[in-house]
Structure 1
Amino acid sequence: MAKLGTPSAIKKTGGVKGKLIGGLILLVVFIIVLFNLFNFADTDANKIGLHYGGGIVEDKKFKSVVPPGSTNKLIGPGDTVYPYPIDQRSYIIGGAGADTDNADEVTVVSKDNVRLGVRVQVYFTLNRDQEVLRSFHERIGLKTEAYEDRGWNAMLQSYFRPQIDRALVAVGTNYNWAELYNNEAKKSAFQAAAAKEFTRLLPAAVGGDYFCGPSYKGDNACGELSFTVQKPTPLDKGIIDGLEAKQRAELAKQAQEQKNQQVNVELLSVKQQVALLGSNGYLLKSAIESGKIQFMVIPQNGNVSIPVPTPTTQQSPR
């Protein structure tokens, strides 16, 4: 009788296992569905997010701004958050390998037709006004994928670099090369003019005031971008060598002129003393001053003892 009951026990045990496996499968499916229904987004402390819908039953349209430093913010299934930097950013021409001859730089032709290499630093922040930032994302960010590091760099190269080149070329023809190389006041004027031209060209190229100055914090005035140029340098190094040789010759000429001027002053002094003392008097004065003639001032009615040297007598050998 015991053997007749064994098949029933086995069948019962197998049914329980099947139910457990089926339950686990349903649980996994439920978790997958749950995670698709409840999507979460995070942003770094230096990033602001733009939340766009992307579900099956809704359009891919803007929903909200995700503040910097957000953690596990609940968003809809299929939605996407695009992060953009809010901290100070830079675009530098001549940064990598700046001390080498083949470093990247902008080529400018001066007023006197000398080709100059110019290295530039631009510092800025992204305008985080909601409507402005949204416009930037939809006009520029999506196209260049600027919400990713590689896309951000590509965006700067595509929009910043051409306007920097245009600005420097436009104002460079107003100055001779030596003025930009040697004259600090002229270089400052060149930098100011280039910065003004760049800040005019950039919004027109990108389609809006998407970039602010480095001091912008989101709740203050946007401000102007920081635009700095290093000393423009002739691409032909022989020009610099020629300038330095000319400067050395000029310094030598100035030194010789100073020496000649000093000699003329001394000659004039001699003529005046000869006219006052006579030739012999001047010669006597010069001899006394040089120490060739020693003299002593004797007070009137004073007794002066002058030591007389004792003659040395020689003894004859015995």
Structure 2
Amino acid sequence: MAKLGSATAVAKGGSTKVKVIGGLIAAVIVIIALFNIFNFADTDANRIGLHYGGGVIEDKKFKSVIPPGSTNKLIGPGDTVYTYPVDQRSYIIGGDGADTDAADEVTVVSKDNVRLGVRVQVYFTLNRDEAVLKSFHERIGLKTDAYEDDGWDQMLQSYFRPQIDRALAAVAADYGWAELYNNESKKAAFQSAAAKEFTRLLPAAVGGDYFCGPSYNGTNDCGELSFTIQKPTPLDKGIIDGLEAKQRAELAKATQEQKNQQVNVELQSVKAQVAMLGAQGYLLKTAIESGKIQFMVIPQNGNVSIPVPTPATTTQQPGN
């Protein structure tokens, strides 16, 4: 009987351990389930979120916009939040830094068939209007993964670059290369026309007004993108050398013409003086002005004392 009692006690102890382990497993399962039921999302201060459903009993449809700087936003199990930048962004061709195509420049052909390299800077922000932002995500963002940093850069390369190329190529054909290289007013007109053309082409290419000006903050007017260009430069550097040589020659010619005009003025002055004084009188006047002849004006019947230098005397020493 004593042995049977001992065996019963052991059985009860083992049963207790099993219950404890089972309880722990059940608690873990409940915690996992709760985490799946109560899903949370955060957004950085410079990013806006698009909340899409993704549960097993609902479609993957748009639910809401999560404002920038949100913390622990409760979303459903399996839901997804896609975030996009809302601060000022740039796309720069021929520069350094983020969102740039640093090793490149746009090539255009001028009216006089000279190939020019153009560096471009575009500054903008993403349109935060809910309907517009949702359209951008579903038409562009999902296709290019623009909600990721690499995808964003690829999106700019795919949609911005071709329209910039087209805009500059269309406008450059109206200007001679020297106008764009040397004339600031012509360059400004070229930039303005190119910006207008790019602003027209971009929405048509992407399918909507997804991008606003750099000063847009979500509550003011969308505004136009900032589009600037640097001096268009001929790809053939010999053209620049030729222009500089021509400019040097023109400068030397202008300088010589100025000198010739000065000499001609002086010659006319000499002729006038010779006509008035006679040749001998002019020569005398010139000699006096140059200091080669000195004279004194002596009043009539006046007494003039002219100091005569006294020769220096030599003092003899005693004994000499």
Q: TM-score, normalised by structure 1?
A: 0.93
| Residues 259-292 of structure 1: per-residue CA shift (max 9 Å, x gap) | 1111111111111122222222222221122121
After superposition, give the CA deviation of every residue in 1:187-230 in whole Å (9 maximum; x if it has no partner). Answer: 11111111010000000001111100001111111110000011
Determine helix, strand or coil for the equivalent of 1:310.
Answer: coil
**CA distance in structure 1 between the aligned counterparts of 2:33 and 2:4, rounded to whole angstroms:** 46
* 1:13/1:194 CA distance change after superposition, 3 Å: same
Could you tell me which amino acid in structure 2 is paired with residue 78 of structure 1? G
RMSD between superposed Cα atoms in Å: 2.2
Report matched runs for 1:111-122 at 5 Å.
111-122=111-122
Opposite residue 287 of structure 2, the aligned amino acid is: A
Distance in 2 between residues matched to 1:302 and 1:291, nearest whole Å: 26
Partner Cα separation in structure 2 for residue 298 and residue 46 of structure 1: 97
- How far apart are the structure 2 equivalents of 1:157 and 1:171? 21
Q: How is 1:147-162 mapped onto 2 (pairs within 5 angstroms)?
A: 147-162=147-162
Compared with structure 1, are the counterparts of its residues 300 and 93 closer, same or farther at alpha carbon in structure 2 (3 Å cutoff)?
farther
Q: 2:31 matched to which residue of 1?
A: 31
Whether 1:131 aligns to 2:131 is yes
Structure 1 residue 304: deviation in Å?
A: 4.4
Amino acid at match of 2:43: T
Q: CA deviation at 1:6?
A: 4.0
Q: How far is 1:2 from its partner?
A: 7.2
Structure 1 segment 1-318 matched on structure 2, within 5 A: 5-96=5-96, 103-297=103-297, 304-312=304-312
Q: 1:298 to 1:12 in 2, by over 3 A?
A: farther
| 3-state SS of paired residue (1:272) | helix
Q: Which whole-Å deviations, capped at 9, do the CAs of 1:225-261 have from their partners, x for residues lacking one?
A: 0000111111111111111111111111111111111
Shift in Å at residue 314 of structure 1? Answer: 8.1
The alignment covers a number of residue pairs equal to: 314
Deviation at 1:184, TM superposition (A): 0.6
TM-score when normalising by structure 2:
0.92
> For residues 28 and 299 of structure 1, what CA distance do their matches in structure 2 show?
132
Q: In the alignment, residue 141 of structure 1 is paired with which amino acid?
A: G
Which residue identity does 1:48 align to in structure 2?
I
Q: 1:184–1:5: structure 2 CA closer, same or farther, 3 Å change rule?
A: same
- The sequence identity of aligned pairs, in percent, is 82
